[in-house]
Amino acid sequence: MNATVTNGMIAGTAALLLSAIVSPLFGARRRLAGWLNFLFALAAGIAFAAAAAGAFAGGGGSAVLRIGGASLHLLVDPLSSLFLLLVSFMGIVAAFYSIGYMEHYAKYRLSGYYLHYPLFLLGMIAIVTVDDLSIGFTIAWQLMTISSFFLIRFDRDDPSIVRSANKYLVLMEAAWLLIVIGAALVSRGALGEPIHRLASELASAAPHRRGAV
C-alpha cells in the first residue's frame, strides 16, 4: 500500500477510536454527543474515502501487521475499497440520523450508544479490509459483533429487544466459529493465512477436504 492508502486507513481508524473515547463523555448532553459522533464519523469517512481513492488509482495492496507472534494481513484493493466507501457513507448517514432519533430514548443516557457506534463502524471497516480468516478476521468479527449486540439491546427495558439481541449474538458467534473452523481445515491449522492463499489451497485440496469445508 502506498502512503495515501496507509495514511487514510490510519487516520480513519484514529478518528473512530477518538469518537469512542470522546463522544461518550458528553452522553448527558445528548445533542452535543450526537454531533461529536457525527463529526468523527465524517472525518473517518473522508479519510477512508481518500484511502479508497488511492487504491482505485493503483496504490492499493496488502500489508502485514505483526503483534507479538501474530500476523494480521490487510488488503485494500479496488474491491475492498468499494465496500470501504459503502460502509463509510452509511456510517456517516446513520450518525447524522442518530442525532435526532436518539431523542426517542430520553430515559437512557447515551454514553453506551456513542461508545459502541464508532466501534461497530470500525469493526465493519476491518471486516472488509482484513485478509485472513483466523486472527485478523476474529478481531474484526468480534469487534463488529459485540458492539452491534449492545447497539441492538440499547432499549434494554423491552424484553423482546433483549431476546432478539441475545439470538443475534448466538447466531453471529456460531457463524464466526464455522468460518474459522472451515479456514483451519483448508490451511491445516495454520493461522493467519491470506485469503487468496486459502483459496488456492482449497482449489488444490483433495475432494474429501473440500467436501468437509
Domain count, the chain: 1
Instruction: Give per-residue burial for 119-146: e unless 16+ CB within 10 Å, then b.
Output: bbbbbbbbbbbbbbbbbbbbbbbebbbb
Residue 184's pLDDT is 77
**Taking Cα atoms as reference points, which of 82, 76, 70 lies closest to residue 10?**
76
Whether the model pTM is above 0.85: yes
41: cell is 464519523
Residue 134's pLDDT is 80
Residue 113's pLDDT is 96
**Taking Cα atoms as reference points, which of 33, 41, 35 lies closest to residue 15?**
41
Residue where the block lists cell 449486540: 149
Q: Per-residue pLDDT for the chain (213 aa), expressed as one digit of tens each?
A: 788 899 999 999 999 999 999 999 998 899 999 999 999 999 999 999 999 999 999 877 888 777 677 777 888 999 999 999 999 999 999 999 999 999 999 888 999 999 999 999 999 999 999 988 888 899 999 999 999 999 999 999 999 999 999 999 999 999 999 988 887 777 664 555 666 665 555 555 555 454 544
154: cell is 440499547
Range(s) of the domain holding residue 123: 3-212
| Inter-CA distances, 49 with 13, 41, 57, 141, Å | 12, 12, 12, 22
